[in-house]
Amino acid sequence: MAQLWGGRFTKETDQLVYNFNASIGFDQKFYRQDIRGSIAHVKMLAKQEILTEQERDQIIGGLEGILSDVEAGKLRITSEYEDIHSFVEANLIDRIGDAGKKLHTGRSRNDQVALDMKLFIRDEITELDGLVKELLEVIERIMEENLHTYMPGFTHLQKAQPVTLAHHMGAYFEMFRRDRGRLHDIFERMNYCPLGSGALAGTTYPLDREYTAELLGFYGPTANSMDSVSDRDYVIELLSAMSTVMMHLSRFSEEIITWNTNEYRFVEIDDAYSTGSSIMPQKKNPDIAELVRGKTGRVYGALMSVLTTMKGLPLAYNKDMQEDKELTFDALDTVKGCLALFTGMIDTMKFRKDVMEASAKNGFTNATDAADYLVGKGVPFRDAHGIVGRLVLACIDKNCSLDDLPLEEFRSYSPVFGEDIYDAISMKTCVEKRMTAGAPGAEAMEQVIAANREYLQGGRG
């Protein structure tokens, strides 16, 4: 058992205790971050003349050799080591001898793991940001192609008023845009370096924490050594942000599942993103959308688990905090996989524009516009509401839409109806006359799309 401690102990750790305590099975993900942090630490120690330049070069050469060998598959990270830190340090000592024993000068595993986790999460946020941006680019393309694709908008899952597919997709654009903003905010808050905090109370060595932070791309060192080693706020924030991403993906998936049903037929999911049935040959199932919807609970569970783990911990570091890693790693893999697959699914999905428009027309989504037409002719709105309500009942009895009623029937309910009623309640008019900011009219949507395009050409968040 390769451990970084033992002088205080007179016998070996029980194997079951060792296995229970060890984190190498999951924190081996940190090997790049651990080596990167160690190289920065050694450069700082040499700058402060705590190490000689020769020792610095020996240690850095050894660390770079370990990284190269792990990446090439020549060196395996095995359970013989307690954690990734002991793996790196033990192999370094094997390679360069006593100089390797000076690597840990001025630091603790507590600030070391805090650094590794921050470096790892920072890289993951950058990757997540890229995946969300790719999804936004696909949504933007669908919006640009469907400015005049009319469809029903819903409240309570009931057809309400006509909108366009561009407008409907634009709602999701806003949601995922805010998700990118949350990731950006987390990055900004967490980007301070804990290395140099020691176990909890800093160190007596004359470390230059600003220099270490600069080498690792942080904005500066953390301000309190106890907070530095016991802070996992940024992990909770990330899990919360990822839960929100998954909630948005799940809502979108729910709609796609509904739209894919035989009753709606709004969309055709590409064969590459569908599956069949082992017994029913006619089936084409929206499994990707269903799995995304299902995996949302998995990410929520990680958030609740870490919140529960952290809620009763006194300062500073406690071993309980080791539990953040597996949960966060799993949540990250889940969210990244869902984003990539969902983006591919909607990028290849076909929209049945004629079915969407017919659904809006036959669902009386133009009823409000018919009432507004009467108001424009001097009829009080409450009376207009009642007149159109009775017209809708008549259409239901006749199994037709408002557009299909003859003018004589309109006039039998109110004499103010004229030939212009048909233009007033056409899908095109109902949508295009809604031109206020945020509305589905083409003029308003063109401005939104132009702003979206400019946003996507910018940087993070």
Residues near 2 by Cβ (< 8 Å), separated by ≥ 6? Answer: 80, 81, 82, 86, 87, 90
Which one of the listed residues 156, 167, 240, 243 is annotated catalytic?
Answer: 156
Place of tokens 């870490």: 306
Give the span between the Cα atoms of 426 and 443, in whole angstroms: 18
Q: Which two tokens stand for residue 43?
A: 């450069």
Instruction: Output phi, psi for 13, to 5 deg.
Output: -65, 140
Cα Rg, the chain, nearest whole Å: 31
Give the span between the Cα atoms of 196 and 37, in whole angstroms: 11
> Closest by alpha carbon to 445, among 189, 148, 228, 199?
148
Residues near 240 by Cβ (< 8 Å), separated by ≥ 6? Answer: 303
Q: Which two tokens stand for residue 306?
A: 């870490």
Q: How many CB atoms lie within 10 A of CB 319?
A: 9
Q: Which amino acid is at 21?
A: N
Give the span between the Cα atoms of 232 and 236, in whole angstroms: 7
> Closest by alpha carbon to 41, among 189, 232, 203?
203
Which one of the listed residues 41, 277, 359, 426 is annotated catalytic?
Answer: 277
Q: Which amino acid is at 131?
A: L
**What are the E-state strand segments in 124-251?**
150-155, 158-164
Q: Which two tokens stand for residue 256?
A: 């796609």
Residues near 177 by Cβ (< 8 Å), separated by ≥ 6? Answer: 136, 455
DSSP state of 81: B
| Residue 277 known to be catalytic | yes
* Chain centre to alpha carbon of residue 80: 36
Residues near 286 by Cβ (< 8 Å), separated by ≥ 6? Answer: 253, 256, 257, 260, 269, 274
Q: Which amino acid is at 207?
A: L
Q: Catalytic amino acids? A: 156, 277
